[in-house]
């Protein structure tokens, strides 16, 4: 069993305490590796290394084209390791190998590449309009890295979410300390090893494995950290924001969701039924933008539900290392208990169970949950309001489109959503009225590296991906060059002189 170490200042090192913990495969419940349990002192060492590298300008002062060359070497090396990374990611997160090898790792690498290419093209110099009051001056904005960024990553898509933080932070010239989730720390350490091999200067990327309350809180509170990029639950996001407030850190948060899928009465059901199921059951529902509330019009309700119930039966649970398996377990025993608890609440609150509703009896090992569909759920029910983060879909009947949009927007979250209709202009009009950061028309989950991703309301602050996401990793400095070269032209000095 591989024993991993922390990655600090360009070297793999043990934690100060020497304590390690196993990483468990959620499909087999067996340990697959061990990682250090870092303490605050380890987090501080990593922050100091990042600070030193940033202040030395070994990376931040490098020409962006040189930074891009090194990061593109990382991309090439990651591509050559794609299969190996897909296997590790599947084993640590419980995602199927079908998903990690066909989607998460290759697309995560492509997103990394796209963000590096996009960042390279963001100009450091932004001219401002001519200013001649109170006298002629030349003004421009210098776009600069922020400094030391903390990247806090959850367990649902560890490689991809890490790529969304590391690539923009580094191409824009920052140094970073990355804290993966305790459940899924391995691909972060693999990325660090690859980056070091490709010539990334020491201290620019550091990886510290440890708990949120210990390592995560140190990263959020330490005065040497300038920015926090956090993905995780809304509850922890609130804590992160409060901790960052003491030293006025820039904070971007990508948090929970309860995304609506609105099926229109003119939808192509061969796309809409599978789309609604893909929106909820992909990766056992462990996407923050998952479409867990499906709004179906009364006029096609029975037909839609009959097709939906039939199609759920085609989702195959089982060995995550088998390419035929299409749905894996949830990430941990704690998450299993949480999801089963919500299913119980759904039953108690009177929702009608269409299928699923528990652990699959045919699988004796692993934290699996059957794909579960509830119907006749009021939008006020707990299972329609709270993020479950498991394979649970609630179907809600609606009378007219205004009614559907009102219910879709009646949520504290605002991350994603979808509209299914053959009438694309109508679907776009509905999409514009949904108060979320992304809406797909006739699809779901297709996150685009060139488009901003993030939430309205309690789903987050700021954006990841695209130019909007890259700019979150920069500071803007206004430089004013006064063109009045004679003392007599600077009449405003006479506000303090009278001679
Ligand atoms: O999330 P946390 P958890 C939701 C989902 C899930 C629930 C709980 O509903 O059921 O959150 O999962 C680190 N200071 N999402 O407990 O706590 C932690 O170590 C600083 C939605 O895993 O948000 C991990 O690295 N950091 C979500 C990261 O924060 C702290 C993805 C996320 O953990 C910390 C995951 C603290 N005090 C869960 N406490 C999404 N939006 O994609 C924890 N962390």
DSSP symbols for 114-156: HHHHHHHTS-SEEE---B-SSS-EEEEEEEEE-SEEEEE--SS
- Residues in a beta bridge with 33: 2, 23
* Look-up of token digits 């459940």: 183
User: CB within 8 A of 455, min separation 6: which ones?
Assistant: 253, 254, 255, 257, 413, 414, 415, 436, 437, 461
pLDDT band at 134 (very low <50, low <70, confident <90, very high): confident
pLDDT of residue 419: 98
Q: How far is CA 264 from CA 291, 434, 446, 473, 498, in A?
A: 15, 14, 20, 39, 75
> Can you tell me the mean pLDDT for 211-228?
98
Q: What residue owns the CA closest to ligand 1's atom 28?
A: 154
Per-residue pLDDT tens over the stretch 427-470: 999 999 999 999 999 999 999 999 999 999 999 999 999 999 99
Identify whether 349 is a catalytic site residue.
no
What average pLDDT does the structure give for the chain?
A: 97
Quick check: 383 and 340 in contact, CB under 8 A?
no
Put the strands of the sheet holding 30-36 in their side by side order. 2-3, 30-36, 20-25
Which 8-state DSSP code applies to residue 453?
B
pLDDT band at 133 (very low <50, low <70, confident <90, very high): confident
Q: What residue owns the CA closest to ligand 1's atom 39?
A: 212
pLDDT score of 383 more than 90? yes
pLDDT score of 97 more than 90? yes
Quick check: 3 and 20 in contact, CB under 8 A?
yes
Spatial separation of the C-alpha atoms in residues 456 and 254, rounded to whole Å: 10
> Can you tell me the mean pLDDT for 220-231?
98
Q: What residue owns the CA closest to ligand 1's atom 4?
A: 233
pLDDT of residue 63: 98
Per-residue pLDDT tens over the stretch 1-50: 999 999 999 999 999 999 999 999 999 999 999 999 999 999 999 999 99
Q: What kind and span of H or E run contains 253? A: strand 250-254
Atom of ligand 1 nearest to the CA of 257: 41
pLDDT band at 499 (very low <50, low <70, confident <90, very high): confident
Give the Å distance between the CA of 337 and the centre of ligand 1: 16
Name the token pair of 289: 């933008």
Q: What residue owns the CA closest to ligand 1's atom 27?
A: 232
Quick check: 326 and 316 in contact, CB under 8 A?
yes
CA atoms within 13 A on the CB side of 268: 9
What is the value of pTM for the model shown? 0.97
> Can you tell me the mean pLDDT for 233-250?
98
Active-site residue (options: 48, 104, 254, 375): 254
Identify whether 288 is a catalytic site residue.
yes
Percent share of the chain, pLDDT over 90: 98
Name the token pair of 253: 């948060």
The pairing of beta strand 260-263 with beta strand 250-254: unpaired
Q: CA geometry: angle at 185 spanning 229 and 241, to 5°?
A: 25
Q: What residue owns the CA closest to ligand 1's atom 13?
A: 212
Ligand 1 pocket at CB < 6 A = 152-156, 179, 181-182, 211-213, 216-217, 220, 231-233, 236, 239-240, 254-256, 288, 335, 338, 387, 389
pLDDT of residue 172: 98
pLDDT band at 96 (very low <50, low <70, confident <90, very high): very high
CA nearest to 273, candidates 314, 233, 243, 241? 314
pLDDT of residue 131: 87
pLDDT score of 98 more than 90? yes
pLDDT score of 425 more than 90? yes
pLDDT score of 497 more than 90? yes
DSSP symbols for 264-331: PTT--HHHHHHHHHHHHHGGGG--TT---EEEEEGGGHHHHHHHHHHHHTT--BS-TTSTT--B---S
Spatial separation of the C-alpha atoms in residues 221 and 362, rounded to whole Å: 47
Quick check: 88 and 264 in contact, CB under 8 A?
no
Pocket test for ligand 1, best of 151, 154, 255 (most atoms within 8 A of CB): 154
pLDDT score of 473 more than 90? yes
């Amino acid at each position: 069993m591989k024993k991993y170490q922390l990655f600090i200042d360009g070297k793999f090192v043990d934690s100060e305490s020497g304590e390690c913990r196993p990483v468990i495969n959620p499909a087999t419940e067996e340990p697959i590796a061990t990682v250090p349990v870092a303490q605050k002192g380890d987090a501080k060492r990593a922050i100091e290394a990042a600070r030193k590298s940033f202040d030395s300008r070994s990376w931040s002062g490098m020409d962006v084209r040189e930074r891009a060359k090194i990061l593109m070497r990382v991309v090439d090396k990651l591509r050559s390791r794609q299969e190996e990374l897909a296997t590790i990611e599947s084993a640590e997160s419980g995602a199927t190998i079908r998903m990690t090898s066909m989607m998460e790792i290759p697309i995560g690498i492509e997103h990394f590449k796209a963000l590096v290419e996009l960042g390279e093209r963001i100009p450091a110099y932004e001219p401002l309009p001519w200013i001649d009051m109170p006298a002629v001056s030349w003004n421009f904005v210098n776009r600069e890295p922020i400094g030391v960024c903390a990247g806090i990553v959850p367990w649902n898509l560890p490689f991809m979410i890490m790529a969304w933080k590391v690539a923009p932070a580094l191409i824009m010239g920052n140094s970073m300390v990355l804290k993966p989730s305790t459940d899924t720390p391995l691909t972060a350490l693999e990325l660090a090893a690859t980056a070091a091999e490709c010539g990334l200067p020491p201290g620019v990327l550091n990886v510290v494995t440890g708990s949120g309350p210990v390592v995560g809180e140190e990263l959020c509170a330490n005065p040497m950290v300038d920015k926090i990029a956090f993905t995780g639950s809304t509850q922890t996001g609130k804590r992160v924001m409060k901790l960052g407030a003491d030293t006025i850190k820039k904070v971007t948060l990508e948090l929970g969701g309860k995304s609506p899928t609105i099926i229109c009465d003119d939808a192509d059901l061969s796309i809409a039924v599978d789309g609604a199921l893909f929106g909820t059951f992909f990766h056992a529902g462990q996407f923050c933008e998952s479409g867990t509330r499906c709004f179906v019009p009364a006029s096609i309700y029975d037909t839609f539900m009959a097709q939906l119930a039939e199609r759920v039966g085609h989702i195959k649970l089982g060995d995550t290392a088998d390419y035929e398996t299409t749905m894996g377990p949830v990430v941990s025993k704690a998450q299993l208990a949480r999801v089963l608890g919500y299913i119980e609440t759904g039953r108690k609150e009177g929702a009608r169970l269409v299928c699923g509703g528990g652990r699959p009896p045919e699988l004796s090992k692993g934290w699996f949950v059957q794909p579960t569909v509830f119907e006749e759920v009021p939008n006020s029910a707990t299972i329609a309001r709270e993020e479950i983060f498991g394979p649970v879909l609630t179907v809600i009947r609606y009378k007219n489109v205004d009614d559907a949009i009102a219910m879709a927007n009646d949520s504290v979250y605002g991350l994603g959503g979808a509209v299914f209709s053959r009438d694309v202009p109508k679907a776009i009009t509905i999409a514009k009225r949904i108060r979320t950061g992304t809406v797909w028309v006739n699809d779901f989950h297709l996150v685009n590296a060139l488009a901003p991703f993030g939430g309205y309301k309690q789903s987050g602050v700021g954006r990841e991906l695209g130019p909007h996401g890259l700019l979150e990793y920069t500071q803007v400095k206004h430089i004013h060059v006064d063109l009045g070269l004679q003392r007599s032209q600077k009449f405003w000095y006479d506000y303090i002189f009278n001679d």
